[in-house]
Amino acid sequence: MTTDTKVIIGVIVATVGIIIGAGLYTNRNAAQTGEVGPSVDQPERLSQEDDPVLGAQDAKVTVVEFGDFQCPACGSLHPLLKQLKEEYADQSVKFVFRHFPLTQLHEHAQLSAEAAVEAQKQGKFWEYHDKMFESQPALTRADLEKYAQELGLNMEAFRTALDEHTHRDVVAADVADGRALGIRGTPTLFINDQHYTGSYSATALKSSIDSALQQ
Amino acid sequence: MIARKYLLATVAFAGLLISGYLFITHVSALPLLCGDDGGCHIVQASRFASHFGIPTAAYGILFYAALGIATALEKKTWLKLITASGFIVSLYLTYLEAFVVEAWCQWCVASAVLATLAFFIVWLHPKQHDN
């Protein structure tokens, strides 16, 4: 073996060793902190009175999702969150949805969010929310109207709200809160006032919610 | 072709750093640095961040380590096989970003560029002799 062969192999093997070592070390630290990051600086921005909520207002644990209806990763997370909403229905857990449309990436995200606010005003937020996530990526204006029709919303009010962007400010307020909390992408979850950094699996999420319930 | 050997070794090393970084941020709570559009968070939160239960970045580490070792040993047939599979996998992952996840992860794109580069370095030198 020539010297450069040995050097290259040495560097490659050492780098892989360092990566695996760092992975194991940081992974153990993540496990110790229960898969949630440090508490956020401005917990009052996590939810506001006008947010759609599922569960008792005074629940011990609050799960907040900052989401975008056109974001595929939010769509992938949706079935899992829906399952958790059912499983924790009789426990002291409430789920809050905040709008965080990534308008640069997703052309329908903004209007979808506004449509969801109108559905909320008409008392059908979660039904509309489920329908949009389950129908991704069909979120054009015509699609939004079709889902509203299927849920029996008042179509005249719905169309007006979309035409006049009545709920633009509600969405913008959520986005401003999200930015203040340091959100860069969607979906971002918070369990009480801690940023959830674990994986999007039922086991990982439930263990974090359960430990928050026991605190 | 000494220069080509060092070039490939550099590509392998740079690739290891990128996939190593993605791997560590995947398995731990360390933050993933990302452009303003949040593309890498979307990609890393997508179901394609793992394949068959193994983080996609781990395949990258395996690929670049194999590339580095085959380069060091000057194994030409290995190099052809390794870079061809790396190139095909990169094409597939880039396709997923563009059309399925619809978000760009700059680190993943950088890795795809490196894998493509390695592929052309190896395959565009038909008259090389095996040592």
- CATH code for the domain in which residue B101 is found: 1.20.1440.130
Please report where in the chains the tokens 């094409």 appear, as a residue. B91
Asked if A71 and A4 sit in the same domain, the reply is: no
Asked if A27 and A95 sit in the same domain, the reply is: no
Contact A109, A144 (CB under 8 A): no
Q: How far apart are CA A10 and CA B19, in angstroms?
A: 18
Q: How far apart are CA A12 and CA B3, in angstroms?
A: 18
Total structural domains within chain A: 2
Asked if A109 and A45 sit in the same domain, the reply is: yes
Inter-chain residue contact B28 with A23, CB threshold 8 Å = yes
This model of the complex carries an ipTM of: 0.76
**Which pLDDT score, from 0 to 100, does residue A7 have?**
87
Distances (CA, A) of B101 to A98, A139, B42: 21, 16, 8
Asked if A56 and A12 sit in the same domain, the reply is: no
The token pair at B45 is 């939160």
Does any domain span residue B119? yes
DSSP string, chain B: -HHHHHHHHHHHHHHHHHHHHHHHHHHSSPPPP--TT-HHHHHHHSGGGEETTEEHHHHHHHHHHHHHHHHHHT-HHHHHHHHHHHHHHHHHHHHIIIIII----HHHHHHHHHHHHHHHHHHT-TTPPP-
Asked if A14 and A115 sit in the same domain, the reply is: no
How far B77 CA lies from chain A's nearest CA (Å)? Answer: 17
Inter-chain residue contact A72 with B71, CB threshold 8 Å = no
| CA quadruple A19, A21, A22, A28: dihedral sign | positive
Total structural domains within chain B: 1
The answer, yes or no, to whether residue A62 has pLDDT greater than 90, is yes
**Which pLDDT score, from 0 to 100, does residue A35 have?**
63
Q: Which residues 23-82 of B are in CB contact (within 8 Å) with A?
A: 23-24, 27-30, 34, 36-42, 45-47, 61, 64-65, 68-69, 71-74
Asked if A22 and A53 sit in the same domain, the reply is: no
Asked if A134 and A99 sit in the same domain, the reply is: yes
DSSP string, B99-114: III----HHHHHHHHH
Does any domain span residue B131? no
| CA quadruple A86, A87, A90, A94: dihedral sign | negative
Asked if A205 and A160 sit in the same domain, the reply is: yes
Q: Taking all residues of chain A, what is their mean pLDDT, rounded to a whole number?
A: 88
Structural domain range at position B51: 2-123
The pLDDT tens digits of the residues spanning A86-116 come to 999 888 999 999 999 988 888 899 999 999 9
Asked if A19 and A86 sit in the same domain, the reply is: no
The token pair at A122 is 């008409």
Residue B29: pLDDT band (50, 70, 90) is low
Nearest one of A124, A9, A127 to B74, comparing CA atoms: A9
Asked if A80 and A7 sit in the same domain, the reply is: no
How many CB pairs lie under 8 A apart between chains A and B? 113
Please report where in the chains the tokens 């580490």 appear, as a residue. B61
Does any domain span residue B116? yes
Structural domain range at position A115: 39-214
The pLDDT tens digits of the residues spanning A170-214 come to 999 999 999 888 887 888 999 998 888 777 778 888 888 988 888
Does any domain span residue B111? yes
A185: which DSSP letter? Answer: S
